[in-house]
Chains A and B, each alone.
Chain A
Amino acid sequence: MTTHCPASVEGLLLTADRLLDSELAGVTTTGRHRGACLVLRTALELCVDQTLKVALPGLPHTTSGRAKLLLLHTFTAGETARRAKALWAQLSLGCHYHLYELGPTYDQVRAWRAEVNALIQELSGRSGS
């Protein structure tokens, strides 16, 4: 769940929007939606990392996603942490191929995009104060 390339939350969100709304040659709609999910998830993770970095300096990079999300409970509102985890789980479902499931729909990804946005606001607002 760690990111190695220097990416910004804003850049990732922009990418997600592009994937959702513009045509990309040779990529199926579902493919674009999955890509958007992936990007959104990365943005969420990045934001969580940033929040924890402020609250817990010295948190190892190797910390598991589950542990991070658990730690998040201590440093942000319980409801925000819970939503972050739920969204992360949904995005994870959306960005992987599941043999018997169709890919996420445009509406679903849009809704997730909005939720990522809302959570980023909440998390950064909280970490900034």
Chain B
Amino acid sequence: MPEKEQHQRTAPPLAETVAKRLAESALPGPVKALLREALDGGADGTVASSAVSGRVFLDSLTVNGFRGIGPRARLSLSPRPGVNLVVGRNGSGKSSLADAIEVGFTGARVHRSGQDATRGGHWSNLHAGDDPAIEVKLAIEGDTSRSTLTRTWTSKEFGSSEATFKRPGHATVPLAEAGWDTALTDHRPFLSYTDLDLMLTGKPSERYDAIAAILGMELLSTATNRLSTREKALAAAAKEMRDALPGLKDALYALEDDERAVRALVAVDTPGALDLDTIDELLAGLPPADDSRLAELRIEAGAHGPDLAEVAAAVQRLLIALADVEDLRGTDAESARLRADLLEKALAHVDRHPYDDVCPMCGTDRVLGREWYDHASRQVAELRREAKAAEDARSAVRAGAWTLQNLIESPVRIPACLTDPWKVWINCRQITDPVELARSAEEAAMVLADACDTARRSAVRELEERDERWSALVVRLAAWAGKARETERDKSLLSNLRKAVKWLKDLTSELRERRMERFTGATQDIWERLRQESNVDLTAVSLKGSEKANVRKLVMAASVDGQAAPALDVMSQGELHSLALSLFLPRATTADSPFGFLVIDDPVQSMDPTKVHGLAQVLHEMGKHRQIVVFTHDTRLQKAFTDLELPVTVLQVTRGEGSRVKVVCVDDPVAQAIGDARAIASTRGLPAEAYSHVLPGLCRIALENAFLEAAWIRHHRAGGSERDLQDALDSAERFQKVAALALFGDVGHVTDVESEVRRRYKDQAWLLIRTCQQGAHPGGASILNPHRFVSDVEALAQKIRKPEVTA
């Protein structure tokens, strides 16, 4: 047992273990960061300032108007580890006090299934139930003064209570802000007979839950869930992307004549080399350099033949010019002009010789008369006009041909299918004969325009068709590419998350197993103590099924005289009771519990006398590290502590008229030692050694116990570790070191103990201590008046216990 107890005591809280393991692990940095983030998130960032992290001990309980307690009753405890028995007859108000502690903390009472936890029955006192109130003063590790938990009721309803919490240096806040809700359930520091009953009569799954909760894996499971959720989201996205790929590929294959689709296909379907850049380029619609067909199509779609109207007009104009020339055929513009010149010269001759009407050339008389003159003049004008028309017509033909040939253009790129008609059209430029030109050009233009139209229409249709399919695909491809990009980006995150989750899961199962082992060990140890001569051996306690399984259960295997059997079936009522205690006690005292105290209401019922001895030992062991408050009407437990010489504080509850409940301390470790010393002092005629050695030894124990009490309380206030105190207790200089801790809060002051004792308690006190210590030396101490000596020691012990008002 001591070893196990040690084990349990030194088991660090889960968060610490996990942080340490994380720091030690060989995980890559990013994985560690993820884990740290997930683990820290546990607090959800809403840590109230009053939240308590140090271990809590009970300092006092003040109750009024609650159940069997009328006017103010007070139970004072030493807020430190140790066993406290609160004894009293049935009906003395004992259970009301026990209840008050639980109700103070939880506002409810443990209830059997079918009962309402908020129903209090006759919960307020009949005599003084007007103003029910429960006040619990708590000593919290590291706090220099006490915190106060106050619960009051706003109405006659049991469920209408409100609790506040006041921690030194903090404002009064609702109790919930102390942050104990989970711990109150998981590590329930209250154990009543009903609890024991529930532990055994409840469903197997409830037993499972009761034990699983204390394995305290919430921190890990919350973090695991947090990471798993992220991991699942990422994995789902990646899967969605992978699942969409075959469909996308099929669609791209369907467009295999589209270079874009082919490129996209290559980009998405090259294993291990997803080419997102190409996809982006495709999505952006940038013209690809090597897509000849598409380029061809685009050119075809842009192909425009000659403007037929223009060509027709030009041809028309040329034809008209040609017709004009045709009309003037036979009219020689030159000869007409020469004739006109000749006639003009003849007219000029007549003008010079008005009276000479003989023709100078043929000599005929009387031909150049008036009549001839007029005729010749008209003829000159006609001839001149004729000559001009012939010239104009000719130049019109030239202009027409030129205009028409100018309409023939050769584009930068000629689509392949239009090469021939375009060539014919272009060749028209070479035709010199305007008649031929007019004929050929018009024909070529019409053929080409026709061919262009056809080519363009079909190209446009094809482009449209392609674009339609493509743009439909583009949407799909874009969506897929987005996912693919995310997946690609989150790839390392996902892998890190997986690593983190795996690490957490492994750690969880490992720690869980270890904790369960520890728990089982503790349970078996307690069972060993309690069973005494029972022939039922508790062979195993284990959790069966996962936390979410419907069939989960707590398996308790036993063996009866070597025969394996389920514990619950073979145990007697008393044994079951012991078994429940064996399960409950380790549960309430795991290292994760913030509660340094444990309240047990009447655990002795239905126990054999020998089991009571076992229980006393168990409680004593637990009392080394926990403040155990046991309420009992059975005197056997107290007797068992005395018989086994185990230190214990006994408080007696008595009830007077009008529910006046009083609690008096009737025994404690100091008083026990003093009582023993007194027993020696009272025995007459003992050999000298009894007074010189035994008596001082017992007195020394009384003083040491007093110092220990003061030391513990001081140490707890300073938030010192339990181990330091334990080291002092285990050392050879135990008395000095404990005294130094009590007086200075520091074992280093061993050499100053004497002067401090002299200063605080006068020189006489130091003499008493010296005398007590001499009892351990061969020479012994010389004590003249044993009774007086014991009384002096007792007085000094009481002074030592009173804490210094300074802190």
A residues neighboring B (CB under 8 Å): 55-60, 62-64, 66-67, 70-71, 73-74, 82, 85-86, 88-90, 93, 98, 101, 105, 107-108, 111
A77 to chain B, nearest CB (A): 13
20 A–B contacts, CB within 8 A, in A order? A56-B689, A56-B690, A57-B687, A59-B686, A64-B679, A66-B679, A67-B679, A67-B686, A70-B694, A71-B690, A82-B645, A85-B643, A89-B640, A89-B642, A89-B644, A90-B610, A101-B609, A107-B535, A108-B533, A108-B610
- Given the known interface contacts A70-B676, A73-B694, A74-B694, the answer about A111 and B687 at a Cβ–Cβ threshold of 8 Å is no
Question: Which chain A positions have C-beta within 8 A of B610?
Answer: 90, 108
Question: Which chain B positions have C-beta within 8 A of A90?
Answer: 609-610, 613, 643
Question: Which chain B positions have C-beta within 8 A of A56?
Answer: 686-687, 689-690
Once the chains bind, are B533 and A74 in contact (CB under 8 Å)?
Answer: no
Once the chains bind, are B680 and A62 in contact (CB under 8 Å)?
Answer: no
Given A59, A74, A89, A111, which contacts B697 in the complex, CB threshold below 8 Å? A74
B529 at the interface (CB under 8 A from A): no
Question: Which chain B positions have C-beta within 8 A of A86?
Answer: 613, 643-645
Given A62, A82, A101, which contacts B644 in the complex, CB threshold below 8 Å? A82
Question: Which chain B positions have C-beta within 8 A of A58?
Answer: 687
Question: Which chain A positions have C-beta within 8 A of B533?
Answer: 105, 107-108, 111
**Cα–Cα, bound, A37→B609 (Å):** 14
- Given the known interface contacts A74-B693, A74-B694, A89-B639, the answer about A67 and B644 at a Cβ–Cβ threshold of 8 Å is no
Once the chains bind, are B683 and A63 in contact (CB under 8 Å)?
Answer: yes
**Cα–Cα, bound, A73→B683 (Å):** 16
Question: Which chain B positions have C-beta within 8 A of A73?
Answer: 694, 697
Once the chains bind, are A64 and B693 in contact (CB under 8 Å)?
Answer: no
Q: List 10 additional A-B contacts (Cβ < 8 Å) besides A58-B687, A86-B613.
A: A56-B686, A60-B684, A60-B686, A71-B680, A71-B694, A73-B694, A74-B697, A86-B644, A86-B645, A90-B610
Question: Which chain A positions have C-beta within 8 A of B685?
Answer: 60, 62-63
Once the chains bind, are B687 and A59 in contact (CB under 8 Å)?
Answer: yes
Within 8 A of A (CB), among B618-650: 639-640, 642-645
- Given the known interface contacts A66-B679, A67-B680, A86-B613, the answer about A74 and B689 at a Cβ–Cβ threshold of 8 Å is yes
B698 at the interface (CB under 8 A from A): yes
**Cα–Cα, bound, A74→B697 (Å):** 9
B726 to chain A, nearest CB (A): 19
Question: Which chain B positions have C-beta within 8 A of A98?
Answer: 609
Question: Which chain A positions have C-beta within 8 A of B644?
Answer: 82, 85-86, 89
B residues neighboring A (CB under 8 Å): 532-533, 535, 608-610, 613, 639-640, 642-645, 676, 679-680, 683-687, 689-690, 693-694, 697-698
**Cα–Cα, bound, A59→B694 (Å):** 14
Question: Which chain A positions have C-beta within 8 A of B613?
Answer: 86, 89-90
**Cα–Cα, bound, A59→B686 (Å):** 6
CB-CB nearest in chain A for B693: A74
Question: Which chain A positions have C-beta within 8 A of B640?
Answer: 89
Question: Which chain A positions have C-beta within 8 A of B687?
Answer: 56-59
**Cα–Cα, bound, A34→B613 (Å):** 19
Give the 7 A-B residue pairs with the shortest CB-CB distance, closest first: A89-B643, A107-B533, A60-B685, A56-B687, A67-B683, A86-B644, A74-B694
Interface of B, secondary structure class, is helix
CB-CB nearest in chain B for A58: B687
CB-CB nearest in chain A for B534: A107
**Cα–Cα, bound, A88→B642 (Å):** 12
**Cα–Cα, bound, A85→B640 (Å):** 11
B635 to chain A, nearest CB (A): 11
**Cα–Cα, bound, A74→B683 (Å):** 16
**Cα–Cα, bound, A93→B639 (Å):** 11
**Cα–Cα, bound, A82→B645 (Å):** 7
**Cα–Cα, bound, A89→B698 (Å):** 20
Question: Which chain B positions have C-beta within 8 A of A71?
Answer: 680, 686, 690, 694
B413 to chain A, nearest CB (A): 111
**Cα–Cα, bound, A90→B614 (Å):** 11
Question: Which chain B positions have C-beta within 8 A of A57?
Answer: 687
CB-CB nearest in chain A for B687: A56
Question: Which chain A positions have C-beta within 8 A of B683?
Answer: 60, 63-64, 67
Question: Which chain B positions have C-beta within 8 A of A89?
Answer: 613, 639-640, 642-644
**Cα–Cα, bound, A56→B609 (Å):** 34
**Cα–Cα, bound, A105→B609 (Å):** 11
Question: Which chain A positions have C-beta within 8 A of B609?
Answer: 90, 93, 98, 101
**Cα–Cα, bound, A71→B697 (Å):** 10
CB-CB nearest in chain B for A61: B685
Question: Which chain A positions have C-beta within 8 A of B686?
Answer: 56, 59-60, 63, 67, 71
Once the chains bind, are B645 and A85 in contact (CB under 8 Å)?
Answer: yes
B272 to chain A, nearest CB (A): 73
Question: Which chain A positions have C-beta within 8 A of B680?
Answer: 67, 70-71
- Given the known interface contacts A108-B533, A111-B533, the answer about A70 and B698 at a Cβ–Cβ threshold of 8 Å is yes
Question: Which chain A positions have C-beta within 8 A of B697?
Answer: 73-74
Question: Which chain B positions have C-beta within 8 A of A93?
Answer: 609
**Cα–Cα, bound, A67→B691 (Å):** 12
**Cα–Cα, bound, A65→B601 (Å):** 33
B6 to chain A, nearest CB (A): 18
A74 to chain B, nearest CB (A): 5
Question: Which chain A positions have C-beta within 8 A of B608?
Answer: 101
CB-CB nearest in chain B for A86: B644
**Cα–Cα, bound, A55→B685 (Å):** 15
A80 to chain B, nearest CB (A): 12
CB-CB nearest in chain A for B640: A89
CB-CB nearest in chain A for B639: A89
**Cα–Cα, bound, A85→B644 (Å):** 7
Once the chains bind, are B684 and A70 in contact (CB under 8 Å)?
Answer: no
A107 to chain B, nearest CB (A): 4
**Cα–Cα, bound, A111→B684 (Å):** 36
**Cα–Cα, bound, A66→B681 (Å):** 12
CB-CB nearest in chain B for A109: B533
B688 to chain A, nearest CB (A): 9
B562 to chain A, nearest CB (A): 15
**Cα–Cα, bound, A119→B802 (Å):** 40
Question: Which chain A positions have C-beta within 8 A of B698?
Answer: 70
B533, B608, B685: residue with the most chain A Cβ atoms closer than 10 Å: B533
B613 to chain A, nearest CB (A): 6
B614 to chain A, nearest CB (A): 11
A83 to chain B, nearest CB (A): 9
**Cα–Cα, bound, A58→B691 (Å):** 14
B700 to chain A, nearest CB (A): 12
Once the chains bind, are B643 and A108 in contact (CB under 8 Å)?
Answer: no
Question: Which chain A positions have C-beta within 8 A of B642?
Answer: 89
Question: Which chain B positions have C-beta within 8 A of A64?
Answer: 679, 683
CB-CB nearest in chain A for B683: A67
**Cα–Cα, bound, A74→B533 (Å):** 31
CB-CB nearest in chain A for B694: A74
CB-CB nearest in chain B for A110: B533
Question: Which chain A positions have C-beta within 8 A of B679?
Answer: 64, 66-67, 70
